[in-house]
Amino acid sequence: MPDVPSPFRRDPDCLLCRADRITPWFHEDDVCWIAECEICAVPMVVWRWHGTEPPENHLAHMRARLADVASAELGAYYVDGHMRNIPDHWHCHARPAGGFFGGPRRGR
């Protein structure tokens, strides 16, 4: 039986696809990884595949994992899904309630 091409791909030129460990990581699995955003210093969940439209089951999984990490690291938080600097790879940030950038966190 021939291999069935996957609808998911990685772009070797994409910073998020490369998933370099340049900041602390909080979680990783086959769907996503969560690390501290280099710019914002808040937890950021990143889909392991290149693109902006993950399937709904991946979205639900990523939101649940981000909720686990954000609750432990930030306490009260909100989810910011605006992809400012890398608009072609799905990711979102958990930001402290009433704020934008990270600071002292509960988890450390």
Per-residue pLDDT of the chain (108 residues; tens, 9 = 90+): 455 446 789 999 999 999 999 999 999 999 999 999 999 999 999 999 999 999 999 999 999 999 999 999 999 999 999 999 999 999 999 999 988 877 655 555
Q: How far is 69 from 73, CA to CA, in rounded Å?
A: 6
Q: How far is 34 from 25, CA to CA, in rounded Å?
A: 6
Q: What CATH number was assigned to the domain covering residues 15-96? A: 3.30.428.10
Conformation bin of residue 75: beta by default, left when phi > 0, alpha when psi is -120 to 50: left
Q: Strand order in 25-28's β-sheet?
A: 25-28, 32-36, 43-47, 91-96, 77-80
Query: pTM (2 decimals)?
Result: 0.87
Reduced to 3 states (helix: H, G, I; strand: E, B; else coil), residue 65 is helix
